[in-house]
Structure 1
Amino acid sequence: MTEVDVETRRSTFSTMAFASVLLFIFSFYSCYAQVPLLVWTSDGYSLPHLTQPPSGHVVSDGHLGAYLKSALNTAPHNVLLFLQDKLSIDDFTVYGGVFGNKQDSAFYNIEAALQSSSNPLVLPSLVWSASDSVLELFQQELGIPAVHINPSALKEFQLNASQRSLLAVHLPYTTGTEAKEMLLKNDKVIGEVLGMFKSHGVPYTAVYTSLKPSIIFPETPVMAESSIGRSLLQAPPQASVKPPITFNNTEGQPCILLWAENLNVSHKLDQWVDLGPAAFSGAANLTGSTCNQTVSRLVLNYQNVFDFQTVQLIFSMRNSLFPVSARQWSVIEQVVIEYDNGKRAVFNGSGGIYSPAEYSFHCQSVSSIQSPLLVPTESAADWRLSFTDLQIQGFNVMGEDFSYASDCAGFFTPGIWMGLLTTLLMILILTYGLHMIMQVHTMDRFDDPKGPAISVPLNE
C-alpha cells in the first residue's frame, strides 16, 4: 500500500468521524432544546380542565395541537400570540424579578395575567420545533389569517370586537447583561396589548412562547453514558405523536378515547387499506357515536373506501359487572363494518378484549386472522381486520389522556416460555452430571508395592 493510499484513508476516516460528531451534537441539541408555552384567558372566561403533563415530560407537536384545539372549545376566539425570538424556562428563574416583581407593578404583567385567569395552561417543556407550528395551528382552527403587529405601531391598530381575530406580536430577545432589560420591555408590551383589549371590552385568549430556546444546559459525559446505558428500558423517542380520537358527551366532556398505529381493513382479499391516517388527522367524523355509564359506541365514518360511498367502523363496548371478581369490567363486544347503505359485517369479541372499567384496553395486535381476538361472523366472511397498537377506553375517561392500560399480552409470553424451557434443560443436564459423579467409586483393593511381585509361570 502506497503512502498516498494511506493518507487518503486517513482523510476519509477523519471526515466520517467529524460527521459522526456533528450528528451526535445535533441529536443531543434536539433532545434538550425546549421552550415553555403559557396560555391564559381574559377575566370572565376559562380554559377547559386540561390534564397538565407530568414533571419532566416534553410535549410534542401532536400533543400541542390537541391542547390548543381543546382550549378553543371554551376560550374566546380572539387570540393574542406573543412570539419571542428566544425563551427558556430558566429565564423565569434567572430573571425572576421580571415576571412578578411586586415592588415594581409595571413589570409583572404576565404573572398578574396568569393569576387573574381561571385555569391557565402552563407547558414548561415544549419541543422547540413544535413552536413554529403554533401560528399555523391557530390559523387552521380559526379559519382566518394572522395579522402581524409591530409593537411600535400598536397604538395605530384598530380592534373589531364583532369578528374573531388572530394577532401575532413578535418580541425580540438578547443575551448577556441586556437580557433582563429586554424582558422588561417585552413584558411592558404584553401589558399594553392586554390593556388595549381590556379597555375595549374584547375577550381574548393569550399565548406566550418562543421560536427557539435561549438557554440549553448540556449534560455531563457521565450522565450521557448512563442515559445510553438505560436506553433499553426507555420508550424510543418520537418526533410526532398523533393525539387520540376523542368523543365528547352532551356536557362537552371526553367519554371515549381511541388510538392506534394502524386500522387496516381488507375486503375480498384485496390489498389492506389503512383507515388510521384519515381518522387521526384531526378531522375524524364521529357522527352516530354515543356514550353513557353502561354502553359506549364509537363510530368512524369514511367515504369512498373499496368502491363503497360510505363505510362506518363501529366499536361497541359495554360496562358490565363480573360477579366472580365483584367489579365492573369494560368489554368490547363487537366491531362492526357498516357499508353499502345498511349492510353489516360483524366481528364478535372472543372474550379477550376486556379491561377493568377504570382502565383502558391496549393490545399490540387485534386481528380477525391468526389467533383472532375478533371472531368474524357469517356476515363478515369477505372482510378482514388488523389493528396495530390499539388502545381504547370507553368508560371513566378523565380528560384527554388514557387511564392505566390493561394489556392483552398474557404473562407467559413466548420469551418467558423460551427462558423457562432453557432453564429446565440446564437443570436436567446439571442433575445428570451430578448423578454421574456420585456413581464414581474408588477401588477397594490395591497391590502392595513392598510385597513380592506376582509371577506367572509359563509352560514351555
Structure 2
Amino acid sequence: MTEEVGCRSVSVLKMAFISLLFILISLSSCRAQVPLIVWTSEGNSLPALSEPSAGEIVSGGKLVSYLKSALTTSPHNVVLFLQDKLSIDDFTVYGGVFGNKQDSVFVNLESALETSAHLVLPALAWSAAKSVEELFQEELGIPALHIEPAGLAQLQLSSSQPSLLVISLPHTTGTQSKEPLRKNDETIGDVLTLLKSRGVPYTAVYTGLRPSHVTEDTPISNTRGFSGRSLLQTLSAVKPPVIFNSTTSGPCILFWADRLSVAHENEPPVDLAPLTFNNTINLAGSFCNETVSRLVLNYRNVLGFQSFQVIFTMHKIFFPVSARNWMVMEHVELNYDGQTALFNGSRGINTPAEYSFHCQRVSNTESPLLVPSSATDNATQWTLLFTDFQIQSFNVTGNFAYASDCASFFTPGIWMGLLTTLLMVFILTYGLHMIMQLRTMDRFDDPKGPAISVPQNE
C-alpha cells in the first residue's frame, strides 16, 4: 500500500510538471513581424517622425501615417526592395543596422543609412508589410513597375516625374542565408549607385513580405459566423486614415477603423468604412482647437436617408488626480434628415491627451462604450459597431501616437492562464504534502510466530 501511494504521488508530480511546462511554452509564443527601413538620397530629408516605442508592433493604420508623412518632403521616385523573407534576426546575426558591424553582410545598406536621412521600424506586422506596394501606388497615383536590377539602366528616370520601382530580392533561411543576404546587399548598392550617377533623387524602402525566423500562425477559417480578434491591418491593401487638417496648425485629427457598421431598427447594417477611407470623404463642419475637436463625416443616401452625418466630439480636460490633460469623447452623434441620435462616450472612450485611443470593438450593445443620452432619445433605434477603432484629436504630429487600448489588463486569456497555473500549483503542493506524510511502521507482526501481546493494567 505504501508503494502504491508513493507511485501515485510521483505520477501526480509528473503531470503537474508537464502541464506547467506546457503553459510556459505556450505563453512564450510571439507575433510574426518584419523590419522596414526607409531612407532618402543624399541632400534630401525626411519629416520629423516619432519612432515607435520599444516593443511596439507597428500596424496598418500607423504604417499608412508613416509612409504618407515620409512622402511630404522626400523624393517621389520610390525604390521598393521587397525581400521574400526578412526578420530582425537577419540583421542581428549577420551584423548591420541592428547588430555588430564587424563582418557585416549589409555593407552598402549601412553606408546608405550613415549618409542619408532614414527611419527604422524594427517590428512591422508582416501582413501590413504585404500592402506596402499598394500603399505607395495609391499615394503616388501611379502603377508599380516590377523590374530586374539589370534592366534598371535602360529606364529613363526623371526627378520631376514620380516613379515606383519594385525590385524583388530572394532569401534562403537556415545556415545558407548569409551569402544570399550579401548578394541582396550588393544588388541594393548597385541600384543606389546607378541612381546617384544619373542624379535622380529617390526614396528607398527595404522590407520583407513575410518573416524568415518566425513560424506563421495558421488563420482560422471564418465558419459558422465565428468572429475572433483581428489586427488593425488585413491581408488586402490597408485603408489610409482620415486626416483633418487645421488651417493654422496642420493635422489635428486622425481617425481609423476597420469597420463602421450602422443599423436602424430592424434594417440590415451598413458598413460605412468603404465610403470613409477613400480620400473622398467630405469633412465639412469639422474643426479643432486647443480644447475641443469635432470630426464630421458626411454621407449621402445611407439607409434611405438623403443626408447622413457621423460626428465625433472630443474635449481636452485636465484631471487634478492624474495631474495631466485627458482626451474625452463627449458624444458620438448621428444626424439624418433633420433628426438626431446622441450617444455618450465619456465613460469609456478617454485617453491621455498626448496618446491616441484604440479599441477592438466600440458598440452600444456589446459591453457598451456608447450609451444613449436618454431612454427616449432616437439613439435607442440605432445599433453601432466600430471595429479596430482608433482616434487622436490632440497633439497630432502627422501619424498616430502611442495607443491607449480599451482592453483591461486582466483579459480572459490572462484569467485562464492564472487559474490554470493556480490549479497546477495546488496539485504540486498536494503531491508534495502526500510524499511528506509517508511513514513506515516501526514494528511488524510475524504471522508464523506468536502474536504480539500488549498487557493491560486492570
* TM surpasses 0.5: yes
Closer/same/farther in 2, CA of residues 327 and 374 from structure 1, 3 Å limit = farther
Q: CA deviation at 1:190?
A: 1.9
Query: Map of 1:42-191 to 2, 5 A cutoff?
Result: 42-61=41-60, 63-96=62-95, 108-118=107-117, 120-174=118-172, 179-191=177-189
Closer/same/farther in 2, CA of residues 105 and 172 from structure 1, 3 Å limit = closer
Who is 1:272 aligned against?
Answer: 269
Q: TM-score, length-normalised on structure 1?
A: 0.62
Closer/same/farther in 2, CA of residues 376 and 210 from structure 1, 3 Å limit = same
Q: CA deviation at 1:172?
A: 3.7
Closer/same/farther in 2, CA of residues 334 and 201 from structure 1, 3 Å limit = same
Aligned match of 1:306 in 303, 307, 321?
Answer: 303
Closer/same/farther in 2, CA of residues 108 and 384 from structure 1, 3 Å limit = same
Separation in structure 2 between the aligned mates of residue 212 and residue 354 of structure 1, nearest angstrom:
34
1:90-116 CA distance string (max 9 Å, x none): 222333279999899997221122222
Q: CA deviation at 1:381?
A: 7.3
1:240 partner letter: Q
Q: Does the CA-based 8 Å contact 1:51-1:399 persist in structure 2?
A: no
Closer/same/farther in 2, CA of residues 327 and 238 from structure 1, 3 Å limit = closer
Closer/same/farther in 2, CA of residues 378 and 70 from structure 1, 3 Å limit = farther
Who is 1:345 aligned against?
Answer: 340
Q: Does the CA-based 8 Å contact 1:106-1:188 persist in structure 2?
A: no
Q: CA deviation at 1:216?
A: 4.8
Q: CA deviation at 1:160?
A: 2.4
1:122 partner letter: V
2:233 partner letter: S
Q: Does the CA-based 8 Å contact 1:316-1:332 persist in structure 2?
A: yes
Separation in structure 1 between the aligned mates of residue 151 and residue 73 of structure 2, nearest angstrom:
31
2:342 partner letter: F
Aligned match of 2:313 in 316, 319, 322?
Answer: 316
Closer/same/farther in 2, CA of residues 104 and 392 from structure 1, 3 Å limit = closer
Q: CA deviation at 1:169?
A: 2.0
The secondary structure found in structure 2 opposite 1:155 is helix
Closer/same/farther in 2, CA of residues 374 and 32 from structure 1, 3 Å limit = closer
1:347 partner letter: L
Separation in structure 2 between the aligned mates of residue 324 and residue 187 of structure 1, nearest angstrom:
54
Who is 2:198 aligned against?
Answer: 200
Separation in structure 2 between the aligned mates of residue 212 and residue 169 of structure 1, nearest angstrom:
16
1:265 partner letter: V
2:316 partner letter: N
Gaps of 5+ in 2: 1-25, 217-227, 411-458
Q: CA deviation at 1:311?
A: 2.0
Aligned positions, number: 364
The secondary structure found in structure 1 opposite 2:233 is coil
Aligned match of 2:283 in 286, 289, 296?
Answer: 286
Q: CA deviation at 1:197?
A: 2.5
Gaps of 5+ in 1: 1-26, 219-234, 412-460
The secondary structure found in structure 2 opposite 1:124 is strand
Closer/same/farther in 2, CA of residues 196 and 318 from structure 1, 3 Å limit = same
Query: Map of 1:306-385 to 2, 5 A cutoff?
Result: 306-320=303-317, 328-340=325-337, 343-345=338-340, 347=342, 349=344, 352=347, 355=350, 358=353, 365-367=362-364, 373-375=371-373, 380=378, 384-385=382-383
Separation in structure 1 between the aligned mates of residue 257 and residue 192 of structure 2, nearest angstrom:
41
Greater per-residue helix proportion: 1
Q: Does the CA-based 8 Å contact 1:98-1:183 persist in structure 2?
A: no
Separation in structure 2 between the aligned mates of residue 169 and residue 398 of structure 1, nearest angstrom:
31
Closer/same/farther in 2, CA of residues 338 and 52 from structure 1, 3 Å limit = same
The secondary structure found in structure 1 opposite 2:209 is strand
Closer/same/farther in 2, CA of residues 200 and 215 from structure 1, 3 Å limit = same
Separation in structure 2 between the aligned mates of residue 90 and residue 264 of structure 1, nearest angstrom:
40
RMSD, aligned α-carbons: 4.6
Q: Does the CA-based 8 Å contact 1:98-1:184 persist in structure 2?
A: no
Q: CA deviation at 1:133?
A: 2.9
2:91 partner letter: F
Separation in structure 2 between the aligned mates of residue 67 and residue 77 of structure 1, nearest angstrom:
15
Who is 2:413 aligned against?
Answer: none
Q: Does the CA-based 8 Å contact 1:368-1:376 persist in structure 2?
A: no
Q: CA deviation at 1:162?
A: 2.5
1:367 partner letter: N
Q: CA deviation at 1:151?
A: 1.9
Identical-residue share of aligned pairs (%):
53
The secondary structure found in structure 2 opposite 1:160 is coil
Q: Does the CA-based 8 Å contact 2:332-2:343 persist in structure 1?
A: yes
Q: TM-score, length-normalised on structure 2?
A: 0.63
Q: Does the CA-based 8 Å contact 2:62-2:399 persist in structure 1?
A: no
Who is 1:457 aligned against?
Answer: none
Closer/same/farther in 2, CA of residues 245 and 196 from structure 1, 3 Å limit = same
Q: Does the CA-based 8 Å contact 2:46-2:70 persist in structure 1?
A: yes
